[in-house]
């Protein structure tokens, strides 16, 4: 068996989260950080599938804080990291069609205001029409809007963090599948078994996205993260709507759309794939249904054509309370989790990478993430408020 160079910290998963972790460990002064990913290049997992939304309009204080902290870090990204995350504050527009939906938006907004996100406002249908004139407001009674929400480029953030981490001395090994772990009698991980040989490690960070539970199980640890398929349709012809169109979300069924590189991207959350939960095929019936919905709700798309080959699916990494899981494993003292962002992992990658970097290095936290502890489920402290999306 080939032996790979020992790592002080092995980060398993080179998606946006693993890249942010590697950078924050390296900038904290940790030497010999290694990122391992089974893909042949960046973007093998969910990060390349993300539609690139960024928002602070969440319903819980911790998610609002993660967004505000990440936004500050994204604004400094060109200076700190040397790359452009293309943060584009065109806003997120939520549309409600019942009093109950409006009440949930208002309750979420109270949490946002309490965290300092004063620019988030409730709007009436007339204001919604001026914010996004392309949308049909049949049945819409009001909504919420935050002008500092908008878009980011997931792969630019991933590549930026990886590049900066490498510049600081971290190594990245592609085509390296972690297939097992050797633990000592106390359950501490001593070696990773990979498709390219064994690697001795001092600590391991689980940044394996939707596959995180499988990775944790290799160390005998449990992690309640499951994959959830999300299908995306991309419409033609291009340039029907301006690039500045805000992310627009119908609260009643979660249908939402944005414009990226001239194409309208349509997302309508439906239950996960039947059978294999890691299946990322796109269902023809879903394409038909989402096309009909788009034509009805966005009149400018009435002639839109959605071709099968321009649709794709990816996997969210769901935790039981739809919040990230951050901290050391209860079952394995040198296994660290930064998982379960539940579909918000790109936008929160800056703050989450910094947070786990501080945990590992024993630094005081810049942002208190103790609510996101892996222990919360066993200790009956799961986060209760339902998130908006
Ligand atoms: C359709 C869609 C739209 C989305 N839109 C948004 C959005 O608008 N905004 C947002 O913030 N988030 C969005 N997300 C969620 C976002 O993509 C994820 O939260 C984020 O990418 C998670 O990053 P990650 O690094 O944890 O996982 P990933 O990017 O999946 O990276 C995990 C990596 O781990 C590697 N890996 C796994 N197991 C092993 C192993 N055993 N050995 C070696 N390597 C391994 C994989 O190859 C992969 O590269 C979206 C997701 C989908 C599917």
Range list for CATH 3.30.9.10 in the chain: 87-152+227-318
Nearest protein CA to atom 5 of ligand 1, as residue = 50
Distance 47 CA to ligand 1 centre (A): 4
Residue nearest to atom 20 of ligand 1 (CA): 345
Please work out whether the CB of residue 389 comes within 6 Å of at least one atom of ligand 1.
Answer: no
Q: What's phi and psi for 26, nearest 5 deg?
A: -65, -40
> Consecutive sets of 10 residues in the chain, 389 residues long: mean pLDDT of each?
88 98 98 98 98 97 98 98 98 98 96 98 98 97 98 98 98 98 95 97 98 98 97 88 96 95 92 86 94 94 88 97 97 97 98 98 98 97 82
Whether 47 lines ligand 1, by a CB cut-off of 6 Å, is yes
**Ligand 1, atom nearest to 13 Cα:** 34
Residues 109, 373, 23, 166: what is their CA dihedral angle, to the nearest 10 degrees? -140
Please, what's the b/e burial string for 31-59 (b: 16 or more CB within 10 A of its CB; e: otherwise)?
ebbbbbbbbeebbbbbbbbbbbbbbbbbb
In CATH, what class is 3-50+155-224+320-376? alpha beta
CB atoms under 10 Å from CB of 176, counted, come to 23
- CA-wise closest residue to 250 among 144, 385, 113: 144
pLDDT at 54: 98
CB of 324 within 6 A of ligand 1: the answer is: no
Residue 173 β-bridge partners: 36
List % helix, strand, coil for the chain (3-state, nearest 5).
Answer: 30, 25, 40
pTM score:
0.97
In this structure, whether the domain defined by 87-152+227-318 belongs to CATH 3.30.9.10 is answered with yes
Q: Which residue is closest in CA terms to ligand 1's atom 12?
A: 344
> What is the 126 CA–ligand 1 centroid distance (Å)?
37
233 lines ligand 1 (CB under 6 A): no
Which residues of the chain form CATH 3.50.50.60?
3-50+155-224+320-376
Q: Which atom of ligand 1 is nearest to the CA of 54?
A: 9
Q: Among 201, 209, 269, say which to mutate for ligand 1: greatest number of ligand atoms within 8 Å of CB.
A: 209
The stretches of the chain forming alpha helices (DSSP H) are: 16-27, 61-81, 99-114, 125-131, 154-167, 212-218, 284-297, 345-361
Cβ of residue 215 lying under 6 Å from some atom of ligand 1: yes
Q: Does the beta carbon of 341 lie inside 6 Å of ligand 1?
A: yes
């Amino acid at each position: 068996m080939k032996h790979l160079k020992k790592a002080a910290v092995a980060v398993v998963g080179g998606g946006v989260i693993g890249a942010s972790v590697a950078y924050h460990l390296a900038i904290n002064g940790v030497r010999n950080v290694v990122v391992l990913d089974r893909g042949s290049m960046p973007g093998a997992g969910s990060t390349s599938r993300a539609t690139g939304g960024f928002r602070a309009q969440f319903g819980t204080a911790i998610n609002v804080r993660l967004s505000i902290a990440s936004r500050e870090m994204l604004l400094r990204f060109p200076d700190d990291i040397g790359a452009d995350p293309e943060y584009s504050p065109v806003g997120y527009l939520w549309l409600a069609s019942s009093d109950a939906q409006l009440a949930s938006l208002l309750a979420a907004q109270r949490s946002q205001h309490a965290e300092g996100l004063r620019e988030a406002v409730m709007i009436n249908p007339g204001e919604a029409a001026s914010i996004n004139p392309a949308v049909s407001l049949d049945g819409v009674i009001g909504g919420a809007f935050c002008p500092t929400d908008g878009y980011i480029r997931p792969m630019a953030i991933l590549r930026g963090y990886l590049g900066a981490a490498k510049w600081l001395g971290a190594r990245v090994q592609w085509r390296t599948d972690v297939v097992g772990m050797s633990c000592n009698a106390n359950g501490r991980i001593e070696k990773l078994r990979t498709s390219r040989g064994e690697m001795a490690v001092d600590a391991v960070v689980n940044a394996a996205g939707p596959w995180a539970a499988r990775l944790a199980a290799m160390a005998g640890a449990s992690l309640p993260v499951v994959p959830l398929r999300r299908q995306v349709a991309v419409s033609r012809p291009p340039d029907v709507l301006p690039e500045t169109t805000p992310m627009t979300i119908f609260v009643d069924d979660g249908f939402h759309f944005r414009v990226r590189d001239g194409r309208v991207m349509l997302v309508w959350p439906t239950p996960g794939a039947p059978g294999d939960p890691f299946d990322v095929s796109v269902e023809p019936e879903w394409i038909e249904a989402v096309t009909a919905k788009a034509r009805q709700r966005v009149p400018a798309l009435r002639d839109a054509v959605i071709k099968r080959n321009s649709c794709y699916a990816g996997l969210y990494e769901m935790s039981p309370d739809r919040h990230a899981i951050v901290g050391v494993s209860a079952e394995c003292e040198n296994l660290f989790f930064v998982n379960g962002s539940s579909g918000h992992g790109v936008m929160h990658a800056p703050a989450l990478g910094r947070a786990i970097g501080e945990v590992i290095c024993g630094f005081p936290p810049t942002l208190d993430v103790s609510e996101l502890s892996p222990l919360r489920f066993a200790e009956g402290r799961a986060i209760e408020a339902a998130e908006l999306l």
